[in-house]
Amino acid sequence: MEFVQNFPFFSIILSMFAGIVSSVLDGKWAKRVSLCLVTAVIAMSAAILVWTLRTGESYTYMMGHFPAPWGNEIRAGVLEALTATIFGVVMLLSIVGGMNWIFVDVEPAKTNLFFIMVDLMLSSLLAMIYTNDLFTAYVFVEINTIAPAA
């Protein structure tokens, strides 16, 4: 397995980890973490896109030591990589475009909570794009409905 094939897993887990870490950061640091994360996700998604275009095939990735249907599994192909890249770019534009308003509209003590929602929403979008498992999609749909509502 080539290292680039790990990128879908890295994208999802990094987004979740960034959300968790932002809970103890202040708003400005949470913003920096969020921007770095989205940039990294775009870069990784673009790398997967290039790799899948070059090889012309999709692949499945075992999340752990057990194959599907016993364990979890994700699947990456051209469509998934392209969708993840577009979502990443849209997310980056949304954060950068609304940057001034975020710090006006959201109370200062709650800005980090806003970026937790952004990070976890991105993670849920990525998990829904890549997952090859209906139950995993159900769990991440929940995150995806709660985060934008918050």
Partner 1 sequence: MSRERDNYENSGWRRFERWMEGETDPLQGRVEVKRPGQETKKVVQIPIDYQKIEEAVYNTDKNLNMKFFRVFYKVMSAILCFGIIAVLLWTVSYLPVTGNPSNPNNNEVSARYIESGLQETGAVNVVTGMILDYRAFDTFGESCVLFIASCCVLILLRIDLGSSSGQLKRRLADADDRYYEPKNDVILQQVAFILVPLIFIFGIYIVLNGHLSPGGGFSGGAVLGSGLILYLNAFGFKKTEEIFTEKRYRRITLAALSFYCLAKSYSFFTGANHIPSGIPLGTPGAIISSGLILPLNICVGMVVACTMYTFYACSERRDVKMAAHLLMNVEETASMILFGVGFTMLLLHRNLIKKIMGLNIMDTAVYLFLAAKGYIEGRKVPIIVDGIQDASAYINPIPSGLVLTGIVVSVSVTAIMLSLTIRLYQRYGSLDIDEILMQYRKEER
Residues that bind partner 1 (CB under 8 A): 1, 6, 9, 13, 16-17, 19-21, 23-24, 61-66, 69-72, 93, 96-97, 100, 107-110, 113-114, 116-117, 120, 123, 127, 133, 135-136, 138-140, 142-143, 146-147, 149-150
- Strand pairing class (72-76; 59-63): antiparallel
DSSP characters over 78-95 = HHHHHHHHHHHHHHHHHH
Cis status, amide bond into 148, omega within 30 of 0: no
Q: How far is the CB of 56 from partner 1 (least distance, A)?
A: 21
* Cα distance between residue 120 and residue 146, in whole Å: 10
Nearer to partner 1, 54 or 65 (CB): 65
Nearer to partner 1, 102 or 133 (CB): 133
Q: How far is the CB of 43 from partner 1 (least distance, A)?
A: 19
Q: How far is the CB of 98 from partner 1 (least distance, A)?
A: 9
Largest CA distance in the chain: 48
